[in-house]
Chain A
Amino acid sequence: METKHILMILGFIILTAIPFLMYAGKGEDEGYFGGADGAAEEAIVDMNPNYEPWFSPLWEPPSGEIESLLFALQAAIGAIIIGYFVGYNKARIELKSQD
């Protein structure tokens, strides 16, 4: 981990935190922090009041809790693979340099 990487992580945190400061105290009820795809659906319906979605999801997470469970699962699957890759190869190089 070089200084460069710490600055990059800080940059990521700042970029993510700015909206919370900009819209502090506001929430979903005032139309903040909703999904961009939801906003696009609204725009489509606004511009085309007669449009009826012709298909609905085959299955939907029955609640926000279940949805966050599945999103966390998705992130966990990805993270375990990258964690394995990094740990395995780090040890491989260290063992080799001990020879």
Chain B
Amino acid sequence: MEGYLPPMWCAIWYILSGIVVGYGVIKINKLMKEQPEVKPLLAVAGAFMFILSSLKLPSVTGSCSHPCGNGLGAVLFGVPITAVLATVVLLFQALLLAHGGITTLGANVFSMGIMGPLAGVIVWKILKGKINSTWVVMLAAIVADWVTYVTTSIQLTLAFPGSDPMNTLATFMSIFAVTQVPLAIAEGLLTAILWDKIKELRPDILLKLGLIDESEVPHYTQVMGTGGAE
């Protein structure tokens, strides 16, 4: 999509995303200083985005698109830090794969790193504690992925409203948002599997981040003690 976003919109999305990414960098530094034990999960969240955004999957609309992996980061670390992770992934794809783009980087960070994760965090906050965290994470990931592409459709409509903006929005939604429905569900499934692995292997970090309750991981506490790993 390089060059397809007019310069004015390129600038607007760069500024909005830049603020959040800057704040995210500060938050990562603070987190690394205060809770260095969460480092492995930060790596896993980034790695998950790397994998998922490299998988261009076919969809029922007959075209292909890729999931984002942003729901996991959003639940674990919140929006600003996920925005930083998304920037790393999007830069890799823009520079090495000519996928996405440098002129569209701000807009893509805004959809994949900010609006999608924000929607995921909202789902997480509403449902947390009401049902098992695995299902909450799955729903949060589905919503985060889908909202990412809804945001993309809205961003393109803002840049190219045409004579009938609602009609234009419908066109972009049919390209991105409809294609993304099965892919978002697929992403939700993968995210839930990884979440369960994290819950099995490092629940101490999830407990420290205040994401789950000890009643969800009785076995781990028995084996490792409540002090957890060093």
Contacts and interface: CB of A to CB of B under 8 A. Distances in A.
Chain A partners chain B: yes
A44 B4 contact: yes
Interface string A25-37: 0100001111111
B228 to A, nearest CB: 11
Interface of B, helix, strand, loop or mixed by DSSP? helix
A48 interface: yes
Interface residues of B, number: 67
Contacts of A35: 56, 63-65
Contact of A96 (B50, B57, B197, B223): B223
Interface string A41-76: 101100110010111111111000001001110110
Interface residues of A, number: 59
Contact of A34 (B52, B63, B101): B63
B40 A53 contact: no
B175 A40 contact: yes
B114 to A, nearest CB: 19
A46 to B, nearest CB: 9
A85 B65 contact: no
A37 B60 contact: no
Nearest to B97: A70
B1 A12 contact: no
Given A36-B63, A43-B175, A90-B201, A74 B92 contact: yes
Given A41-B1, A44-B4, A82-B44, A12 B186 contact: yes
